[in-house]
Structure 1
Amino acid sequence: MGVAVTESLRALLLRQDNDYRPITSRFEAENRHGWHEAGVTPTRPCASVVIPAYNVAYCLPAVLDALSVQTHTPEIIVVDDGSTDGTADIARRHTCVDQVICLPEHRGAATARNVGAVAASQNTVVFMDADMVIPPHVIADLAARADDAAVLLGFRHNVAHGTPLPDAPDIYEDHRVRWRPPVGTPLLYSGIVLDEPIDGWPLEHTRDLIDLGYGRTYYDWDLPRMVVTALLAVPRHAFFEVGGFDPEFGRLGWGMEDTHLGAKLIAAGLVVIPVRQAAGFHLDPPDAAALWQSKLASWPATLRHYRSLLEAPPPQRSALFTAETLRLLSRCEVNR
């Protein structure tokens, strides 16, 4: 990446705006199509979908079935993260999957995504959770709008286990769109305490994130925190340049690895653009309540790690990251 960066990641973030309008305006002029309007299929393959999968046999068939009927056919890579159920076998049997990579042991989603990104062959990597069921147009919409200078955000609509899926995902079910935080208790990310209820609209009130540049915040939200890997499109070269996901997050517990990736990409000069029509159903597991409590128990450790990384210069280790991840990939079972 050239000259070594000595400024902290936090300092670099404070200098980056998020005015992405030249990118969206160019897309609309070239395609005569609205940025937030479904449609415009890429003319050639350009996206690799990377799915980290750990004990998701309960939902993976539905996820892969939805990917098999996309209007744009992507490369699909499932990285089994040491599952002990039938996850890997389900992925191997599904005709839409191009590669099934089985890690030698459970490493966490950050490592699984790194391995999948290194194995990917396309210019755009779409990171997608293994419990996301998406409508047929979603991958096409992300691939058609992919840009070397942009991170594209999709959205999720949580659905309780065993509940029939609604006709279409409702973007307003995503906390980044409509947000009703608790009162009188420190908020998870910023630690601020609200004195009265608010009906928050983070996306709308920040002009679709344009106003979250230059280190600005919307209550408990900042621009890096908007980067969520439930459904996220990233330029593959930029992902490599910033050193991918920090695997330490997976060792510590749950959360923050996507926020940290977002911070690194923003500090490197990329803008973050929502794609409102790119929304899917996030299928809750049967033990959702217990799993959520387990995740929250590890949140303080992952948040502390993220805060410490903000005070250090961002990693500049494209070659080292690739070499380390390729070594791990060489130890994996790979089925094509």
Structure 2
Amino acid sequence: MSSTTSRRGRRRAPTRIERAAGRAAALQKPRVILALLLLLALTSVMLLDGYLRAEVGGDQRVRTGASADKVPEKVLDGGPILTFRGGQAKTVSVPDKTIALTFDDGPDPTWTPQVLEILRKYDVPATFFLVGSMVSRYPDIVRDMVEQGNEVGVHTFTHIDLSYQSEARVDREMRQTQLALAGAAGITTTLFRAPYSSETDAIDDYSWPVYQKLGKDGYTSVFIDTDSDDWKRPGVKKIIEWATPEDGKGASVLFHDAGGERSQTIEALPRYIEKMRAAGYTFTTISGVLAKQQAAQAQTQAQAQGGGPVRNGSATATRLQAAHRTATGVTLYEGKALVAAVAVAEWTVPALSAGLTVVGVAVLGRFGMMLLLARRHHRQRNRRRFSWGPPVTRPVSVIVPAYNEKECIANTLASLARSTHPVEIIVVDDGSTDGTADIAESLGMPNVRVIRQQNAGKPAALNNGVRNASYDIVVMMDGDTVFEPDTVRQLVQPFADPSVGAVAGNAKVGNRTTLIGAWQHIEYVMGFNLDRRMYDLLRCMPTIPGAIGAFHREAVLAVGGMSEDTLAEDTDITIALHRAGWRVVYQEHARAWTEAPGSLKQLWSQRYRWSYGTMQALWKHRGALTDRGPSGRFGRVGLPLVVLFQIVTPVFAPLIDVFTAYSMIFIDFRAALLAWLAVLGVQLLCAAYAFRLDREKYRYLLMMPLQQLAYRQMMYLVLIHSCVTALTGGRLRWQKLKRTGEVGTPAGVG
């Protein structure tokens, strides 16, 4: 659009802000989608990190007493290595005077490198059965492990007992671990050890189908002959004793390099290696055992056929039985993608946790500051001897901008007619098409003037009213708002202080009988009016509500009137008055009853406009940061507070909720729930105090927990949407809310 329509119907050149908005409007939708995708990506990263941390606990036996009727006796009585070559279950024993040293539950960033260093020092190979989630978190350790000549096997991805899992879950656990190995070291493996397994005689009817399935998939399942029980931390001497085979027999020996505090394992390992070597033992890997067994079989077969000894049999067998496979193709790239994603999660989640901790502390600090300053404000303004100065009794002009307010205008004007303070009422009809102006005129009120203008927007209507006002104090209200009889008198008393340029009144939700209305009622009492008490004492009030505010006429004219540059003309004019050196205060006893949006759609439209307009106003007045003298107080105090607590912390608030859910699922449900309840308790305390100050009924606070779970999330999404609009320069227009006219002066008032 190259031009816009002025209030007289002529075409005018668009403003600089409108031109910038128009250029960026076409990019708005894809950028919103991008923002949603980024939010989804962040949530996915947190879920991935949580999944990775559902990991190893202490070694334990989770099932006892199960039958083994379906397990072949030769397996139960066989060696610790179970293969299914040729479709038949076969076991392999470790040769005499041979140790297949195995480690479970790693890698661990503290203990595994120490184990590797000991193995390197004594030139001993070992087989490590790795948890996939740990592999993806510490790929460099796995890479060093393989390059050192050690062997690796699968120990599932999340250290779960596969006996009770579906076939799909078994496949997923194995595949995810293989992908982690591919991404970390560029290999896959054919070795497997089940978590919570021990010797072959512990196989039962629950676990046997799992081993059969994995055998068909090409896996070799590895058990133990001798368990060091180092996870019990019985002492170095006991660990060495329990890990020693009897009578020179060979053994698959189990140690742990992760899953707990392993200092005793680190101390016992070198002494164990020295002891076994002194006893004539050699160390090998699981593949080394299989290679010796196949070499022996080949030798026996050759001799049975009358041939000579098999040359290089051991090397051939080792090549055939090697557990590692080079990862290629899709597996390799998917593995690298997994490791990269985990690296992002490993950096993002702690950083996010630290950032949200700062935000949480800031929010709680704000609650504390609001309580202290609100109490001080209430005590100060309600002292018997408190006075703004001589009572203000002179007439004032009340400006009512109205656009299609036929449902509300009669109630609004009737409430003003009951005012205990002398008023001139100016209704500025902004091009209504529903007969609003006719209704106002038909009431026949002698102190009501109706000014008609072509539709030009609320700021233009307010400026028209200010220009036509007869008195030096002007009160501005919305066309759907109802005043109590004493509202105007209370509102204008602060003008007895010549430094006061504007006064914010106490806006209250009139239609609070619905759930949405009740939620907004809580928000108005706590979020708006408690805030205004704090900002009043700090002398940096950011907004005079459009529903009820009073101004020195000369102050409004001096700053150029209500600006059309933003959609939050109330915030814009308030900041402008601060920068011009005027004081802006809050008058809690001046109450106005307004009709809050009755549907979620209308509520979204209203708050979207408020949030976006506030950002516009803050950006427009960013120069306040460098203002000097008393007029620079808003820039030094108010503007940073508004940005921090009305934009930054609410934007991050949904992440706090997501992180709370993450903590409940993956970390500590009870601690996370207690923390959430503690924050809710602080908010309830603040709300209860705000209700006490405003003399409101506490029963509405029963809805606050639900408000925190539903309504608050919507407000956060609105703010995020507004931020995206502001950052992309998207265009936002005024949207008229549907009114019902149900709000009147509360019973018993006046």
TM-score (norm 2): 0.29
Q: Which amino acid aligns with 1:240?
A: L
> 1:76–1:96: 8 Å Cα contact kept in structure 2?
no
Which secondary structure does the structure 2 equivalent of 1:209 belong to?
Answer: helix
Which of 178, 195, 220 does residue 526 from structure 2 map onto? 178
Which secondary structure does the structure 2 equivalent of 1:260 belong to?
Answer: helix
Q: Deviations for 1:29-58, whole angstroms, at most 9, x for unmatched residues?
A: 9xx86559xxx974432x100111011111
Deviation (angstroms), 1:83? 1.0
1:251-330 alignment runs, 5 A limit = 255-284=567-596, 288-298=599-609, 302-311=613-622
Task: Please state if 1:202 is matched with 2:202.
Answer: no
1 CA distance for matches of 2:438 and 2:596? 21
2 CA distance for matches of 1:179 and 1:246? 26
> 2:399–2:477: 8 Å Cα contact kept in structure 1?
yes
Deviation (angstroms), 1:283? 2.1
Which of 159, 184, 202 does residue 510 from structure 2 map onto? 159
> 2:399–2:462: 8 Å Cα contact kept in structure 1?
yes
Deviation (angstroms), 1:272? 1.5
Q: Deviations for 1:99-139, whole angstroms, at most 9, x for unmatched residues?
A: 211112x2211111011001101010101111111111111
**Number of the residue aligned with 2:494:** 145
Q: Which amino acid aligns with 2:429?
A: D
For residues 118 and 262 of structure 1, do their structure 2 counterparts lie closer, same or farther at Cα, with a shift above 3 Å needed? same
> 2:539–2:583: 8 Å Cα contact kept in structure 1?
no
**Number of the residue aligned with 2:663:** none
2 CA distance for matches of 1:61 and 1:131? 9
How much is the aligned-residue C-alpha RMSD, in angstroms? Answer: 3.6
> 2:423–2:447: 8 Å Cα contact kept in structure 1?
no
1 CA distance for matches of 2:442 and 2:568? 32
Which of 386, 409, 417 does residue 68 from structure 1 map onto? 417
1 CA distance for matches of 2:581 and 2:471? 21
Task: Please state if 1:99 is matched with 2:449.
Answer: yes
For residues 44 and 310 of structure 1, do their structure 2 counterparts lie closer, same or farther at Cα, with a shift above 3 Å needed? closer
Gaps of 5+ in 2: 1-380, 515-519, 628-750
**Number of the residue aligned with 2:326:** none
2 CA distance for matches of 1:176 and 1:272? 19
**Number of the residue aligned with 1:242:** 559
Which of 438, 460, 466 does residue 117 from structure 1 map onto? 466
> 1:52–1:113: 8 Å Cα contact kept in structure 2?
yes
Task: Please state if 1:135 is matched with 2:446.
Answer: no
> 2:399–2:475: 8 Å Cα contact kept in structure 1?
yes
Paired residue total? 240
2 CA distance for matches of 1:35 and 1:127? 24
Which secondary structure does the structure 2 equivalent of 1:233 belong to?
Answer: strand
**Number of the residue aligned with 2:435:** 86
1 CA distance for matches of 2:397 and 2:415? 15
Q: Deviations for 1:41-86, whole angstroms, at most 9, x for unmatched residues?
A: 74432x1001110111111111111110111121110011111112
For residues 289 and 69 of structure 1, do their structure 2 counterparts lie closer, same or farther at Cα, with a shift above 3 Å needed? same
1 CA distance for matches of 2:440 and 2:426? 9
For residues 148 and 128 of structure 1, do their structure 2 counterparts lie closer, same or farther at Cα, with a shift above 3 Å needed? farther
Which secondary structure does the structure 2 equivalent of 1:248 belong to?
Answer: coil
* Greater helix proportion: 2
1 CA distance for matches of 2:470 and 2:553? 9
1 CA distance for matches of 2:530 and 2:623? 32
1:219-238 alignment runs, 5 A limit = 223-224=541-542, 226-238=543-555
Deviation (angstroms), 1:153? 1.1
1:211-222 alignment runs, 5 A limit = 211-213=538-540
Q: Which amino acid aligns with 1:154?
A: G
For residues 297 and 259 of structure 1, do their structure 2 counterparts lie closer, same or farther at Cα, with a shift above 3 Å needed? closer
Q: Deviations for 1:178-236, whole angstroms, at most 9, x for unmatched residues?
A: 129xxxxxxxxxxxxxxxxxxx94245x2x621254xxxxxxxxx22x32121111100
1 CA distance for matches of 2:430 and 2:512? 22
Q: Deviations for 1:221-267, whole angstroms, at most 9, x for unmatched residues?
A: xx22x321211111000100000111233xxxxx4211010000011
**Number of the residue aligned with 2:703:** none
> 1:51–1:130: 8 Å Cα contact kept in structure 2?
yes
2 CA distance for matches of 1:33 and 1:71? 23
Q: Which amino acid aligns with 1:281?
A: W
1 CA distance for matches of 2:513 and 2:530? 29
Which of 386, 389, 394 does residue 44 from structure 1 map onto? 394
Deviation (angstroms), 1:144? 3.5
Larger-gyration structure (1/2): 2
> 2:509–2:594: 8 Å Cα contact kept in structure 1?
yes
> 2:559–2:576: 8 Å Cα contact kept in structure 1?
yes
Higher relative contact order (CA 8 A, sep 6+): 1
When structure 1 is superposed on structure 2, of 300-309 and 112-121 the one drifting more is 300-309
Deviation (angstroms), 1:291? 2.7
Q: Which amino acid aligns with 2:487?
A: V
Q: Which amino acid aligns with 1:103?
A: Q
2 CA distance for matches of 1:93 and 1:262? 35
TM-score (norm 1): 0.62
Which secondary structure does the structure 2 equivalent of 1:157 belong to?
Answer: strand
> 2:507–2:545: 8 Å Cα contact kept in structure 1?
no
Q: Which amino acid aligns with 1:202?
A: D
For residues 292 and 96 of structure 1, do their structure 2 counterparts lie closer, same or farther at Cα, with a shift above 3 Å needed? farther
1 CA distance for matches of 2:621 and 2:537? 22
Deviation (angstroms), 1:273? 1.3
1 CA distance for matches of 2:580 and 2:562? 15
